């Protein structure tokens, strides 16, 4: 029989406060309203709202990505000015700021212009992306007469002003070394569909990611590109709920490359795969963590990057 520890009231109070603080950090409760959104010179339409899978009625082609980050609800509102200028603001709320960042990172993929709005933002042509707290927000120019960048940013800043708190990125993303990292390359996700926007690894679910949006997914992934001495290096960091999945994923990944390999060296937690063309792939596997690089001329550079990730990793929040 286990001993029952003595519990005093101050200890109980401390634990309660700690639990509340953890809950507020992980489960975001802050909400905004597009009904309150006003920008001088623009006439607003009614607000359209979507909860859960009703989002498919509005954006069927992309809603799968949203569901892969535990999407909660959404609002859409359109604005008009001078007859032919039209802007659409779309807000998407998620269960945590980290998942909101995840969708932001997936949807802005390829956008290289980062802006100092919200927690992070980017602009590509007539489409603005913003991550702020538990929200991913877009501002889109839909009019016949093209809006100015100032018009788009006026709406973005008006949305940003509704927030009071600052939020952090997922710890897995924060573990990526800042030196040599290409900031706009970062992608955070859980499900296989997001990976396939980055790279196609075949029909099998090699990395053991979530592949059913109706089922909870027990893996988180951070992807980043690094430029060292003008050469590009790609790195995927995966954290699973148990050590079993990394073992399966590492084996399947190595199996998928066997026909192109000249030599394989395994001394876990490291493995080096040397292809016939001389390029190398480095794998790190330990506990619930798996890291995989894509083909590169210098495996030593990748290994050093992985070692920096290991040093920066924080335990997953339960």
- Mean pLDDT, rounded, for 261-273: 95
d(CA 49, CA 110): 28
The pTM of the full predicted model, rounded to 2 decimals, is: 0.88
Q: Is residue 16 part of a domain?
A: no
Q: Where is the domain boundary, 104, 135, 160?
A: 160
Q: Is residue 318 part of a domain?
A: no
pLDDT of residue 113: 86
**190 and 280 together in one domain:** yes
pLDDT at 52 over 60: yes
Q: Is residue 25 part of a domain?
A: no
**119 and 186 together in one domain:** no
Burial (CB < 10 A; 0-12, 13-18, 19+), residue 63, is buried
Q: Is residue 204 part of a domain?
A: yes
**136 and 200 together in one domain:** no
**264 and 297 together in one domain:** yes
**130 and 236 together in one domain:** no
Residue 262 token pair? 């000249």
pLDDT of residue 14: 37
Q: Where is the domain boundary, 130, 160, 190?
A: 160
Q: Is residue 254 part of a domain?
A: yes
> Distance of CA 185 to CAs 80, 105, 176, 281, Å?
34, 8, 11, 20
**125 and 85 together in one domain:** yes
Number of separate domains in the chain: 2
- Mean pLDDT, rounded, for 217-245: 95
**217 and 142 together in one domain:** no
Q: Which domain holds residue 255?
A: 171-312
**175 and 149 together in one domain:** no
Q: Which residue has the higher pLDDT, 25 or 308?
A: 308
**80 and 201 together in one domain:** no
Q: What is the dihedral of CA 200, 217, 100, 168, to 10 degrees?
A: -100
d(CA 92, CA 136): 5
d(CA 275, CA 259): 9
Q: Is residue 165 part of a domain?
A: no
**61 and 154 together in one domain:** yes
Q: Is residue 7 part of a domain?
A: no
**178 and 294 together in one domain:** yes
CATH number of the domain within which 72 lies: 3.40.1000.70
Q: Where is the domain boundary, 103, 125, 160?
A: 160
pLDDT of residue 2: 34
Q: Is residue 17 part of a domain?
A: no
> Distance of CA 314 to CAs 100, 102, 289, Å?
20, 18, 11
DSSP letters spanning 119-178: SEEEEETTEEEEEETTEEEEEEE-SSSPPPHHHHHHHHHHHHTT-----PPPHHHHTS-S
pLDDT of residue 16: 35
pLDDT at 8 over 80: no
- Mean pLDDT, rounded, for 102-106: 96
Summarize pLDDT for 57-77 with one digit per residue, the tens: 999 788 999 999 999 999 999
pLDDT of residue 318: 54
**145 and 226 together in one domain:** no
d(CA 229, CA 244): 36
């Amino acid at each position: 029989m286990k001993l029952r520890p003595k519990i005093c009231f101050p200890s109980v109070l401390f634990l309660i406060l700690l639990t509340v603080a953890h809950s507020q950090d992980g489960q975001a409760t802050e909400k905004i309203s597009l009904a309150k959104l006003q920008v001088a010179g623009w006439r607003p339409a009614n607000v359209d709202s979507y909860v859960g899978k009703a989002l498919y009625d509005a954006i069927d082609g992309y809603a799968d990505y949203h569901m892969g980050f535990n999407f909660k609800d959404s609002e859409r509102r359109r604005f008009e000015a001078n007859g032919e200028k039209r802007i659409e603001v779309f807000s998407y709320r998620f269960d945590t700021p980290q998942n909101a960042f995840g969708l932001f990172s997936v949807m802005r993929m390829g956008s290289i212009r980062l802006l100092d709005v919200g927690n992070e933002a980017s602009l590509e042509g007539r489409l603005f992306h913003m991550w702020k707290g538990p929200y991913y927000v877009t501002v889109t120019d839909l009019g016949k007469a093209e809006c100015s960048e100032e018009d788009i940013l006026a709406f973005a800043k008006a949305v940003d002003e509704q927030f009071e708190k600052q939020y952090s990125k997922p710890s897995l993303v924060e573990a990526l070394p800042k030196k040599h990292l290409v900031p706009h390359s970062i992608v955070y996700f859980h499900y296989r569909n997001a990976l396939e926007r980055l790279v196609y690894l075949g029909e099998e679910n090699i990395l053991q990611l979530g592949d059913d949006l109706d089922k909870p997914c027990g893996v988180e992934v951070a992807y980043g590109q690094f430029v060292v001495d003008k050469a590009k290096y790609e790195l995927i960091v995966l954290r699973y709920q148990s050590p079993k999945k990394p073992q399966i994923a590492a084996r399947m990944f190595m199996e998928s490359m066997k026909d192109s390999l000249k030599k394989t060296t395994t001394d876990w937690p490291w493995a080096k795969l040397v292809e016939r063309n001389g390029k190398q792939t480095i794998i790190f596997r330990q506990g619930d963590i798996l890291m995989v690089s894509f083909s590169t001329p210098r495996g030593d550079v990748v290994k050093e990057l992985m070692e920096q990730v290991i040093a920066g990793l924080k335990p997953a929040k339960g």
